Homo-oligomer: A and B are copies of this chain.
Amino acid sequence: MSTFHSLDRSGRHGHTLRMKSYAKELWFETAKRYELIDITKQVEAALADSGIAEGLCLVNAMHITASVFINDDESGLHADFLEWLEKAAPHEPVAKYRHNVGEDNADAHIKRQIFGREVVVAVTKGAFHFGPWERIFYGEFDGRRRKRVLVKIIGE
């Protein structure tokens, strides 16, 4: 985290204003190959930890077979998402993908491309400037191993 200070020339009325930059990595290891996990609380904890009240927050998957996206926290919808993605880019047959030489996750790279790598969320008055139903999700498409999400916040 880096800061800078704007100095009052008299020293009497001095106040400190800071341009801050904050980074935190969140770790995940899912039990299943595919999982959609609500990470809103962890990202909000990072925002509180940063002390940033106005700015932009980037949240991105650090691995290329996973997504970070914003949508609804509703289990039926999540089942629809995974069913839709499986139909759009099926895991099987593994051999139909040229990437799958010693690997079997080409479908996960494609699923991540569709759902996206990242979201950028506005920070206003110390909180995420969310609409009524916005929640941040980690979308795992090739799980069962340790992977990371990056939270990077800049502002003041």
Q: What residues make up the interface of A, taking CB atoms closer than 8 Å to B?
A: 2, 4-11, 17, 19, 21, 23, 53-56, 58, 60-64, 69-72, 74, 76-77, 79-81, 84, 88-89, 97-101, 106, 109-110, 112-122, 124, 129-134, 148, 150, 152, 154-156
Give the number of copies in the complex. 3
A154 near B152 with CB under 8 A, answer no
In whole angstroms, what is the CA distance A88 to B119 when docked?
23
Taken together as a complex, chains A and B put the C-alpha atoms of A77 and B155 apart, in Å, by 37
Contact of A71 among B64, B122, B133 (CB under 8 A): B64
Contact check, B110 vs A113: say whether CB atoms are below 8 A apart: no
Tell whether A124 pairs with B23 under 8 Å between CB atoms, given A70-B64, A81-B113: yes
